[in-house]
Amino acid sequence: MRRLSVFNTVSLDGYFTDEKNDMSWAHQGEGDAEFNEFTSGNASGGGTLIFGRITYQLMASYWPTPQAAKQFPVVAEQMNALPKVVFSKSLDKVDWSNTKLVKSDPAAEIRKMKSESGPDMVVMGSGTIVSQLTQARLIDEYQIVVHPLILGKGRTMFDGIKDRLAVKPTATRMFKNGKVFIRYEPAG
């Protein structure tokens, strides 16, 4: 059975986007060689990338560019090569290499994908998708990078969750740039 993980950066006060839906703050402090090696290693892990429309459009506008290849060559290569699934009811087509557009219910589609053979999957960004898949109890692991910044306002990736979900930490790591990586799994 395929596993589904989430990989997201959040501010110290728990937001993954600021009040204007901007996530650029999450890339501050990328000059830390240890953190860059960690993210490159994470990207080389493979799997299928899962996105909602907004995150897909942000990622597709950056990773295929020469700037991305110059700044983050290993990550850019993987982001462009890996299979991708974007959930959107409003998009009519997708142009980023190896991307499949799915207009149906994310929980139903992920449940089906998890039962099939294939590589593990990871949701990046995509708070609405994370919220829906968390509510459906389809996420096997949450990989969170806590950024040393307080935004004050914004959006959590768990907006709309109706039921509590206990999680347990399975790994932590602190970087020189002040970011802290924490991995959680559902406790039950």
Domain of 75: which CATH number? Answer: 3.40.430.10
- Under 8 Å CB-to-CB from 86, ≥6 apart: which residues? 51, 52, 53, 56, 94, 99, 100, 101, 102
- Please state the domain count of the chain: 1
- The verdict on pTM exceeding 0.85 is yes
pLDDT tens-digit series, residues 65-114: 999 999 888 888 989 999 999 999 999 999 999 999 999 999 999 999 99
Q: How far is residue 64's CA from residue 142's CA, in Å, rounded to a whole number?
A: 26
* Domain assignment of residue 175, given as a range: 4-186
Indicate if the pLDDT at residue 27 is higher than 80: no
For residue 24, name the pLDDT band (cuts at 50, 70, 90): confident
Q: How far is residue 29's CA from residue 179's CA, in Å, rounded to a whole number?
A: 8
Nearest-5° angle of CA 7, CA 137, CA 45?
A: 30
The interaxial angle of helices 73-81 and 33-43, nearest 10 deg, is 20
102 in Cβ contact with 85 (< 8 Å): yes
For residue 172, name the pLDDT band (cuts at 50, 70, 90): very high
pLDDT tens-digit series, residues 121-151: 999 888 889 999 999 999 999 999 999 999 9
For residue 42, name the pLDDT band (cuts at 50, 70, 90): low
